[in-house]
Amino acid sequence: MSTRPHVLLPLCLALALGGLSAVAVRAQPASPAAGESAFDIAMFQIEGNTVLPATVLEAAVAPFLGPGRGMAGVEGARQALEALYQQRGYLTVLVDIPEQRVQGGVVRLSVIEGRVGGRHVLGARWHDPARLREAVPAVAPGQVPDFHRLQAELAPLNQGEALRVQPVVKPGLRPGTVEVELQVRDQAPVSASLELNNQHAAGTAALRLSASARHDHLFQRGHSLQLTLQTAPAAPQQSRALVLAYAVPGQAPGSAWTYQLSASDSDVASLGGVQVLGRGLTVGLRHQQLLPRTEGASVLTLGVDLRRLEETVAFGAQADRFPLRYVPWQASLADGLALGAWQWQGSATLGAAWRVLGRREVSCPLSDGSVGTVDQFACKRNGGDGSFATLRTDHRLQRAAPGGQWALRLAGQWASGPLVSAEQASLGGADSVRGYHEGEASGDHSRLLSLEWRGRNRWPAAPAPASEAPAPASRQELVPLFFADVAQVRTESPAPGQAGRQSLWGVGAGVRAAAQAVGLQWEAGLDLARAGRASAATAVGDWRLHARLQARF
């Protein structure tokens, strides 16, 4: 994603421990060169090691034991040991051959462990230097630095754009030591955004306004708090939503716990005098863990929600209530990969709920007009069940091409049976099938295919210095695009008069723009799309403009 997510940990090493050179060789038996005196090697006595098990060292030099090995065998063992330390992440370790007289086939090798003499934080403006030092115990003074461990410790620090920490190793003030500088590039941890768009459902006010504020470094401990509010400015009663999220770094490197609260309230009057009121409250917990790979990292997320939903359908003096309370669980995995001109990002989310955790009977209007007591899921949805499972996938593939970039998206949902509306896939709108209102098609199963061509930036920013890439927050951009979206939903056990399948497709063109003005970063998007399939609210050939404008600081 992601998590983001690829984590890049640049290590700028300037090691100068008496001419240290890292020579990686493959351990293989060595024979004495012509003219060298041969002697037997029965055992290597390795002195000065404190970081690797003795059995590991013995295995590394074992191929160089034997009769007649001579100095070639000794040098081969030295190089093999040095390469072993390098591979294990101990880049400040040298192996030396001290002056000695070989007696009884015993050869001494001396391990010189370069230790950290000082650890310094440079350039930190918004983050406490003392806490940054504490976050990387792998390079604490007196330690033999393990750079593999250091990479793992830097991963949670370098997750976001607000903080970048780069370690630089320099010669120490005393022989046999190194100085570690943690060079910091950080930004203010406070950010906010305001967005106006027309992502609305059919029959509701056209505009939506959302505001978000975030602090990513509370109490100097990396805690994050985000608040998001959304409404319909012209008719606030039609759409009101609040989302509050609080994230705390976990004890394991690259892990975090997130506590979420979301509340929504809507009151929509539809044609025919029917009024639909919906209220929802969800309390959730998420645990996120980075899974490092050779390049980048996967993101594993485990979560559970407590949901309380209530829908009231009123017609005249009659009002039918459909309450729902249940506990869905989820597990998701997100990853990404770059191969030359190709870039792939994908995620898979498995969701599930069990009837035993949500068994509840409610008063429900029956088909004969009476009111009876039934299971809450059966009341909300014909054939609904408190035990269900879903699998959602979303894959995006991009490829650079002359003059622009191709982007392909494949997404879908599978369900074990009939789902309540909160768990169904909802398609149509700016983020799925353009040319339609938001959520014009919904169902238990879905599949989405989107193909997009993005042209070159027609508003290039001023060239950045060769040593410095342009900051994403200050980019200037004007990119044309063309797209085609197609999707289908399928509903199990549809109600009388409800279609079991529904398809949508649209084609069109758009533009993306970004610029910095009056101290704010502005982003805008316009997509003009033509609907190719009729729905309840859209006719074939209808044109729809999807627009959004966002300001951030």
3-class DSSP string for 18-86:
CCCCCCCCCCCCCCCCCCCCCCCECEEEEECCCCCCHHHHHHHHHHHCECCCHHHHHHHHHHHHHHHHH
Residue 357: predicted pLDDT = 79
The model's pTM: 0.74
* 434-445 pLDDT tens trace: 999 999 999 999
* 184-236 pLDDT tens trace: 998 888 999 999 999 999 989 999 999 999 998 888 888 999 999 999 999 99
CA distances from 135 to 128, 149, 221, 297, 312 (A): 11, 12, 10, 20, 52
Domains 43-113 and 115-186 share a fold: yes
List, as own/partner pairs, every contact residues 227-233 make where C-beta atoms lie below 8 angstroms and the sequence separation is at least 24, other chains included: 232/200, 232/204, 232/205, 232/207, 232/208, 233/205, 233/207, 233/209
Domains of the chain: which residue ranges? 43-113, 115-186, 424-553
Residue with tokens 């995995």: 333
Residue 339: predicted pLDDT = 84
- From 465, 470, 435, select the one nearest 450 (Cα to Cα): 435
Is residue 419 within 8 A of residue 444, CB to CB? The reply is yes
Report the topology of domain 115-186.
Ubiquitin-like (UB roll) (3.10.20)
Q: Are strands 177-186 and 115-122 parallel, antiparallel or unpaired?
A: parallel
Q: Which two tokens stand for residue 439?
A: 């959520």
Q: Which CATH number applies to 43-113?
A: 3.10.20.310
Sites in the chain below the pLDDT cut of 50: 1-12, 14-30, 462-473
